[in-house]
Structure 1
Amino acid sequence: MQPVISFQNYTFRYKSQSEPTLRNINLDIQSGEKIWIAGPSGSGKSTLAHCINGLIPFSYGGESSGILYVGGKEAAKLSIFELSRHVGTILQDQDAQFVGLSVGEDVAFQMENEQVPHSQMKQDVYASLTQVGMEEFESQGPQDLSGGQKQSVSLAGILSTEADILLFDEPLANLDPASGARAMKLIDHIHQSTGKTIIIIEHRVEDVLQQPIDRIIVMSEGEIVRDQTPDQLLAEGALSKYGLRQPLHLQAMKYAGITMGGMKGLSDPEGNVHPSIGEELNAWAAGIPFDPPHVEGERLLELDHLTFGYDKSRPVIKDVSLTLSRGETVALLGNNGAGKSTLSGLITGIYKPDRGEIRYRGESIASWSIRKRGAAIGYVMQNPNHMITQHLIRDEVSIGLRARGITGDEMTAKTDEALRTCGLYPYRNWPVSALSYGQKKRLSIASILVLKPEIMILDEPTAGQDYKHYKEFMDFIHQLAGQGMAFIFITHDMHLALEYASRAVVLSGGEIIAANHVANVLSNPVVTKKAHLREVSLSRFAKAQQLQAPERFVQAFVDYEKRGMQA
């Protein structure tokens, strides 16, 4: 059978680069397959996707050799319009994909270009929205939707084109765990019900593997280095070799000395249940000394019974009390709409509480200006495009220093230090527009980190980052916390919370419903269900294996990894 996509000895080099980004690619994808393309940042996976959907060469110029076939036709001989009939793309930055003033207009955009009769168009728009569960939002503006809802609308827009190949570029980057699980289930439903070819590019390993995948294509330095089934790749433990994270339950099995060769369904933490595995895991966990998180340090921030509502009759934040000590790292968890970003706005002075008080080092900050608060409390937004104002990367990092009168050699030294910390120093003289979404995220963090506040609020600090950059950055944050800087992580990444937070605070409906050691919180299905989180895979794995104390097992894993990190 002729493949729907075929790369044959394909090499591509961007105009601005001296070396090829893709090298000698040979890859066949059959119609109806579901493929995950994985690899660290810079591995070439996004460039491969751009070749498939026509952004190369129509938006990004360069030189290529070899042949690429899409839909049985040579891609080089097709127009971008012809390619778009074959390949529908869901972008990582969903806001950049919307063109309509309403959900319905956005879904109808392609049909309008093709002059579909209005009566047929209305039926097709409604059918596409119904397929993704968004028919009730047809008249709503896309900007008012949550991340998960935007993802669904983007998918409805692509479904309306009837493209036979769907390409997802980081579809989970801005979604909470529950929304991410729904998105993967929705993608799988589309795959099963339509038979379309699905290609997924994503860093979140465990989330992608929640649903069946036919093949995993791993890229490294512009080449395909693995093309295997999930079981083959996971049993080898090869993901970590290429800067990706092995699922935590499999990492735990490795630490316990359990051989995985020949096992099936390795991506499922609740599969492969066997008494001998449970015995080995219990014995391993019992040998790890218990090291409960403990932070000593002066109290920096106190939130005292805060209540706030955009409409005062309907509070969004309800009687929230929270403390943050010097050197402490708190993971602020909860579903989209739980109130996490609003609480950050209260701390930074964007909003004023209706009731309650915020104190910094024991002093009320009610009268402080936003600038004065900013000197003590740094805030990095979730979407880097909402923060970046300068054309050049170096200028973006140094703008805050210049505003504070720091110039010359001191400004250069501080700017370079922040750029190195965030892995952006090699690109210091590049235009911001040349950066990927993940690199822009690091740039926005560098522009705040350079000011050295005592408290930093990081909204989804690792969204869109591969495991290598995630670990490098979070290890540095861990070092800063050791020096006394305090952090609040607003995150959907349960692994980040487990590994790097002193404790977890869970918001649901504007109220704190849990505040405890992270392992305890994320092993509690009542809390995770209420907050629309996803019980951490280690906990589900431990319960499936009927371990004696699942919470203790999760904590043992965290302590074991932390000792390795500190060694």
Structure 2
Amino acid sequence: MAESILSFNQFSFQYSSLAEPTLHDICLDIYPGEKILIAGPSGSGKSTLAHCINGLIPFAHKGKISGDYTLKGCCPAEQSIFEISRSVGTILQDQDSQFIGLTVDEDVAFAFENDCVAPEEMKPRVARALSMVDMQEHMNQSPHELSGGQKQRVSLAGVMSMEVDILLFDEPLANLDPASGKHAMKLIDDIHRDSGKTVIIIEHRIEDVLEQPIDRIVVMAEGRIVAVGTPDEILSSNVMQENGLREPLYISALKYAGCGLTPDAQPSSLEKLSDNEQVRRALGEWIEVSDNSPHEHEPVPLAELQDVRFAYGEGTEVIKGVSLKIGAGERIALLGNNGAGKTTLSQLLTGMVTPTSGDILLNGESIRQWSIRRLGEQIGYVMQNPNHMITQTMIRDEVGLALRIQGVPQAEITAKVEEVLRICGLYSYRDWPVSALSYGQKKRVTIASIMVTEPKLIIVDEPTAGQDFKHYTQFMDFLSRLAERGVSLLFITHDMHLALEYTERAAVLCNGEIIASGSTASVLTDTEIMKRANLKETSLSMLSRSTAVATPEALVRHFIQYEKRKKQVSEHE
């Protein structure tokens, strides 16, 4: 067997500011050319392990190290951070924080400039790096003007230009729509196959990562490696759900149906499973046991968009005659590709911009003449990027800011803030500075800061971004309980799992128009709508089509009903 390119042996790490180690007895060998997925819930230690791999530990984050770690046979602690960066290139979750140049080509050229490469040699090398990620035509644009998927490609080009041995991706699918995420994983796989580099991916969206070949999955929990195996070995076990991770939807459905999955059945291949007669029989029997008919009722109207149109200045219309009703206590998923107009629609609802024509009603009254403050007391908006919302230094102050502005007594503020922090899993951090939190934890702070005002409608832009399955389930369950008390929820999301599990209705926006609206199960199984809106068909729908045991809508409805009953039983135990 080839010598490992990365090797951890009984490796532990404890940050200087913490009383206990974050990593415990890590034993892991990664070999040249491997493609590895590292998965685990928040706090599992995967980010700390990544910091060890790319040299931020021990150079940027100080602490106590025990055990051994080698990079290409050398001890990283005895190298400089510059030397490590020659071997490991990192593509960050938040690409904006990685950009340096004013234009795309300047950003990619940064590494060459550091190496004093002559301009005549630098230009073709920059062009070659951008060509690898299909971004040459954008070389004169500002990186900050690009879409999420394009920003990721530029970051990758910058790292590829350095000719490193290891590519480390920190949540490469964060903030990408499903189709863009699929393209990103295909790009990573193409580069892995063509370059032969070692690829390490840290990601929550396991199902999306596994659409492309992966050699091994490393599962972490509480600072330890709890499982290492091939995708077939991991998926046929229960290690993911036991450690707070979301399995691919089709795997969960097959386990619910009583299919005995083994590595030999190759569960990582939906196509291979669909050819298995035992799998088809068990799935068919499972679907037959419940009522799959839709149970829909018309909720009391809360908000309504009536033929709303909007254009920025004299430019092209970005919202084109949108009509949409939101009922009291209704949970709706607003789906669509990047650039479809979802964020603009939310700005119209919150009064940040005014319709060019048409009207928006709240409880039957037009909001056109309402002040931002009055509207803000009725409609809460949680931005996709938490750093765009946070203004206070301390967590407690950030969550209570809106209440202080409203003049609420301090005792009441304290009680409400602590209640919401408990619900969002942040109570133990209540006296921490916001800067000490992870991206996902900051996201929960912004959600808590909206929850505390108890609005009638909450618009949440990408609630699952940066969240592990456990924590996103916790606060999504809380939001659902708010819906039961009459609070309406509009989720702007790329997450098909969230739409299936937490919404009754979905609306699909494409090029500024609503092209579909109806029950979530029916919308997400309409392949023409999915294709037109650049969305990705769920694996449940694909499982139904490949096995032909039921219609896609019937399988999806049954899956949703089964999970709801399962959750209700669990809550009463």
TM-score, normalising length: structure 2: 0.97
Question: Residue in 1 aligned with 2:130?
Answer: 129
Q: Deviations over 1:351-409 (max 9, x none)?
A: 11111000000000001111111100000000000000111111100111100001321
1:261-410 matches, cutoff 5 A: 261-273=262-274, 274-290=276-292, 292-410=294-412
Q: C-alpha separation between the residues in 2 aligned to 1:306 and 1:555? A: 32
SS of the residue 1:185 aligns to? helix
Q: C-alpha separation between the residues in 2 aligned to 1:555 and 1:72? A: 53
SS of the residue 1:272 aligns to? helix
Q: CA deviation at 1:41?
A: 0.5
Q: CA deviation at 1:286?
A: 1.5
Q: CA deviation at 1:271?
A: 3.1
Q: Deviations over 1:316-375 (max 9, x none)?
A: 000000011111000000000000000001111111111100000000000111111110
Match for residue 506 of structure 1 among 499, 505, 508: 508
Are the counterparts in 2 of residues 331 and 488 from structure 1 also a CA contact under 8 Å? yes
SS of the residue 1:447 aligns to? helix
Q: C-alpha separation between the residues in 2 aligned to 1:235 and 1:282? A: 20
Instruction: Give the AA of the match of 1:382.
Output: Q
Match for residue 488 of structure 2 among 486, 489, 500: 486
Q: Deviations over 1:291-313 (max 9, x none)?
A: 63535542110100001111445
Q: CA deviation at 1:242?
A: 0.8
Q: C-alpha separation between the residues in 2 aligned to 1:219 and 1:78? A: 27
> Any stretches of 5+ residues in structure 2 without a counterpart?
none
Q: C-alpha separation between the residues in 1 aligned to 2:16 and 2:524? A: 47
Q: CA deviation at 1:264?
A: 4.1
Q: C-alpha separation between the residues in 1 aligned to 2:409 and 2:396? A: 13
Percent of pairs with identical residues: 56
Question: Residue in 1 aligned with 2:539?
Answer: 537
Q: C-alpha separation between the residues in 1 aligned to 2:523 and 2:314? A: 31
Question: Residue in 2 aligned with 1:457?
Answer: 459
Q: Deviations over 1:407-456 (max 9, x none)?
A: 32101001111111111110011111110000011111111111000100
Q: C-alpha separation between the residues in 1 aligned to 2:555 and 2:271? A: 15
Q: C-alpha separation between the residues in 2 aligned to 1:150 and 1:257? A: 43
Q: C-alpha separation between the residues in 1 aligned to 2:408 and 2:295? A: 38
Instruction: Give the AA of the match of 1:88.
Output: G
Are the counterparts in 2 of residues 58 and 80 from structure 1 also a CA contact under 8 Å? yes
Are the counterparts in 2 of residues 237 and 246 from structure 1 also a CA contact under 8 Å? no
Question: Residue in 2 aligned with 1:156?
Answer: 157
Further displaced range: 187-196 or 407-416: 407-416
Q: C-alpha separation between the residues in 1 aligned to 2:551 and 2:481? A: 31
Q: C-alpha separation between the residues in 2 aligned to 1:262 and 1:436? A: 35
Q: Alpha carbons of 1:238 and 1:123: their partners in 2 closer, same or farther (altered >3 Å)?
A: same
Q: C-alpha separation between the residues in 2 aligned to 1:413 and 1:247? A: 39
Are the counterparts in 2 of residues 263 and 272 from structure 1 also a CA contact under 8 Å? no
Instruction: Give the AA of the match of 2:403.
Output: L
Q: C-alpha separation between the residues in 1 aligned to 2:299 and 2:184? A: 41
Further displaced range: 286-295 or 250-259: 286-295
Q: C-alpha separation between the residues in 2 aligned to 1:231 and 1:546? A: 23
Q: C-alpha separation between the residues in 2 aligned to 1:24 and 1:264? A: 33
Instruction: Give the AA of the match of 1:75.
Output: P
Q: C-alpha separation between the residues in 2 aligned to 1:369 and 1:295? A: 33
Question: Residue in 1 aligned with 2:252?
Answer: 251
Question: Residue in 2 aligned with 1:415?
Answer: 417
Are the counterparts in 2 of residues 338 and 507 from structure 1 also a CA contact under 8 Å? yes
Are the counterparts in 2 of residues 102 and 140 from structure 1 also a CA contact under 8 Å? yes
Q: Deviations over 1:214-269 (max 9, x none)?
A: 11111111111101111011111221111111211111111111111144432233
Q: C-alpha separation between the residues in 2 aligned to 1:267 and 1:127? A: 34
Question: Residue in 2 aligned with 1:200?
Answer: 201
Q: C-alpha separation between the residues in 2 aligned to 1:408 and 1:346? A: 33
Q: C-alpha separation between the residues in 2 aligned to 1:267 and 1:518? A: 26
Q: C-alpha separation between the residues in 2 aligned to 1:373 and 1:294? A: 30
Are the counterparts in 2 of residues 293 and 517 from structure 1 also a CA contact under 8 Å? no
TM-score, normalising length: structure 1: 0.98
> Any stretches of 5+ residues in structure 1 without a counterpart?
none
Instruction: Give the AA of the match of 2:187.
Output: L
Q: CA deviation at 1:524?
A: 1.1
SS of the residue 1:11 aligns to? strand
